[in-house]
């Protein structure tokens, strides 16, 4: 195809950002004219002309809807445009909005390495910001606000070690303020924060080592162990309430190590592990839905709903989205057949779709239009076959070619009639 590349600009070093965007276009260029066109799109992306790159790639795909390389190029250009928008939002410190744009890019290309890496960095940045807010509130003694901030940090990065540690500490302190944990010590020993408990534990253990006859120190060591286990239970329950099930399972495991007889810790660990597994299944099913692997996603959702006691609402939302996605897949199959001018097959595909639902987008109107096309084409073809004058034959055949270029043998008939003129 003739290159439509804009005139070259004066030579200048390209920003590293545009070079990064080009990574999403790797592997999308075919051979021959497709390769030339892919180069044009890459040139536009490298010069920051994302809207034009997307428009050109989308146009090429529209002209060749069954060309996998054209579709891949369009997706890559669209993702590059989204990444550029995310970059702008990041520079403006609009990290939450940038994250939404990155999530949209991953819907289009779930395995895009650039988007995945950037999403992880953005989540960590937002989590770090919430961590600092939590530390400020913690230092001012506002434990409720500090706890809420640490939880927000963990929503963006569930494995954030500092947020996990600080949330554990502030939860223990809040519990103590509410009167929990009192009565464990005698003669001036008070309920302490996590690190003080650990210090007390080590001190009582040392007393037992060097003064084995000191029964009081041994009793206090056991009391500290039970208190730490209870506090781990409290932290685990807090994590569970916030939906941080993997973190909760770790806390319950710690509580069991300190107090192996704790039925609450054993039940909590089993419950949190089930919810953790259910959460993984929900995440995997969400990715499968994006890839239109509907049946596999449905199976995972069924497993998740059997495991979970508290994530049913999320599973129900995904099941609802599956129904819509399945209809979209059927609609897309019918559209592709229609674009290929396989009108009878497209009508049948729309029929399958409309058996599942009474209405979906413009499926009813499209099926009716195609049915009219078939009737009109047959009528004009009969006219052409019965016309006496070549001009009348040609007029009827050309009328068909306006909407159905490969109907029966009309192209051969048109060529023959035009050659005879």
- Tens digit of each residue's pLDDT (9 = 90 or more) over 65-124: 777 777 777 777 888 888 888 888 888 888 888 888 888 888 877 877 888 888 888 989
SS3 167: helix
- Given this model, what pLDDT does residue 369 score? 93
Q: What is the mean pLDDT of residues 375-404?
A: 92
- Is residue 221, in this structure, part of any structural domain at all? no
pLDDT tens, position by position, 201-217:
444 343 334 334 434 44
pLDDT at residue 320 in the model = 82
Residue 30 has pLDDT above 50, yes or no: no
Q: Is 293 helix (H, G, I), strand (E, B) or coil?
A: coil
Using alpha carbons, list the distances in angstroms from residue 32 to 1, 23, 29, 37: 9, 21, 9, 9
Count of structural domains, the chain: 1
Of 274, 337, 280, nearest to 307 by C-alpha is 274
As given in the structure block, the two tokens for residue 387 are: 């016309």
pLDDT number for residue 382: 95
What dihedral angle (degrees, nearest 10) is formed by the CA atoms of 104, 248, 205, 260? -150
For residues 129-142, give the mean pLDDT: 90
Residue 389 belongs to some domain of the structure: yes
**Most confident segment among 19-33, 35-49, 177-191:** 35-49
Region 246-263: mean pLDDT is 84
- 45 vs 397, higher pLDDT: 397
Residue 238 pLDDT exceeds 70: yes
Distance CA 284, CA 389 (A): 65
* pLDDT category of residue 275 using cuts at 50, 70 and 90: very high
pLDDT higher at 67 or 413: 413
Nearest-5° Cα angle at 277, 107 to 307: 110
Residue 183 pLDDT? 36
> What pLDDT, on a 0 to 100 scale, did the predictor assign at position 39?
57
Please answer whether residues 279 and 263 qualify as being in contact, where contact means their C-beta atoms are separated by less than 8 angstroms: no
Q: Is the pLDDT of residue 27 over 80?
A: no
Euclidean distance between CA atoms 69 and 53, whole angstroms: 15
Mean pLDDT of the chain: 76
* Residue 373 located in a structural domain: yes
The verdict on residue 162 lying in a domain is no
**Is residue 112 assigned to a domain?**
no
In a domain, 69, yes or no: no
In a domain, 271, yes or no: no
**Between 226 and 16, the higher pLDDT residue:** 226
pTM: 0.42
60 or 223: whose pLDDT is higher?
Answer: 60
- Which residue did the predictor score with more confidence, 298 or 109? 298
Q: Can you give the pLDDT at residue 205?
A: 43
Q: Specify the pLDDT at position 201.
A: 43
Query: What is the extent of the structural domain holding 350?
Result: 341-420
Q: What is the CA radius of gyration of the chain?
A: 33
Span 260-282, mean pLDDT? 91
Q: Is the pLDDT of residue 194 over 50?
A: no
């Amino acid at each position: 195809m003739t290159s439509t590349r804009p005139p070259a600009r004066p030579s200048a070093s390209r920003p590293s950002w545009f070079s990064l965007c080009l990574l999403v276009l790797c592997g999308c260029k075919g051979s021959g004219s497709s390769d030339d066109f892919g180069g044009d799109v890459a040139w536009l992306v490298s010069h920051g002309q994302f809207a034009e790159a997307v428009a050109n790639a989308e146009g090429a795909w529209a002209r060749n809807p069954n060309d996998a390389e054209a579709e891949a190029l369009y997706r890559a250009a669209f993702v590059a445009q989204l990444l550029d928008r995310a970059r702008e939002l990041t520079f403006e410190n609009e990290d939450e909005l940038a994250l939404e744009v990155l999530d949209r890019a991953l819907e289009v290309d779930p395995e895009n390495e650039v988007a995945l890496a950037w999403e992880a960095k953005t989540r960590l940045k937002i989590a770090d910001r919430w961590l600092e807010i939590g530390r400020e509130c913690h230092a001012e003694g506002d434990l409720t606000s500090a706890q809420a901030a640490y939880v927000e940090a963990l929503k963006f990065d569930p494995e954030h070690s500092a947020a996990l540690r600080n949330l554990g500490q502030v939860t223990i302190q809040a519990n103590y303020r509410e009167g929990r944990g009192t009565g464990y010590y005698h003669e001036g020993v008070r309920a302490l924060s996590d690190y003080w408990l650990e210090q007390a534990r080590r001190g009582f253990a040392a007393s037992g080592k060097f003064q084995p006859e000191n029964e009081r120190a041994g009793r206090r060591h056991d009391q500290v162990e039970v208190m730490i286990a209870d506090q781990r239970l409290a932290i685990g329950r807090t994590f569970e309430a916030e939906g941080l099930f993997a973190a909760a399972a770790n806390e319950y495991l710690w509580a069991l190590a300190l107090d192996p007889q704790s039925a609450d810790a054993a039940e909590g660990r089993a419950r949190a592990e089930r919810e953790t597994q259910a959460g993984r299944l929900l995440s995997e099913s969400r990715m499968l839905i994006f890839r239109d692997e509907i049946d596999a996603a449905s199976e995972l959702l069924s497993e998740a709903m059997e495991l979970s006691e508290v994530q049913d609402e999320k599973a129900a939302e995904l099941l609802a989205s599956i129904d819509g996605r399945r209809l979209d897949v059927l609609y897309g199959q019918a559209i592709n057949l229609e674009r290929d001018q396989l009108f009878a097959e497209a009508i049948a595909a729309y029929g399958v779709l409309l058996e599942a639902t009474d209405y979906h987008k413009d499926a009813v109107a499209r099926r009716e239009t195609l049915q009219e096309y078939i009737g009109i084409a047959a009528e004009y073809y009969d006219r052409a076959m019965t016309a006496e004058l070549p001009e009348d034959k040609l007029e009827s055949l050309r009328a068909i070619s306006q909407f159905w270029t490969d109907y029966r043998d009309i192209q051969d008939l048109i060529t023959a009639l035009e050659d005879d003129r």
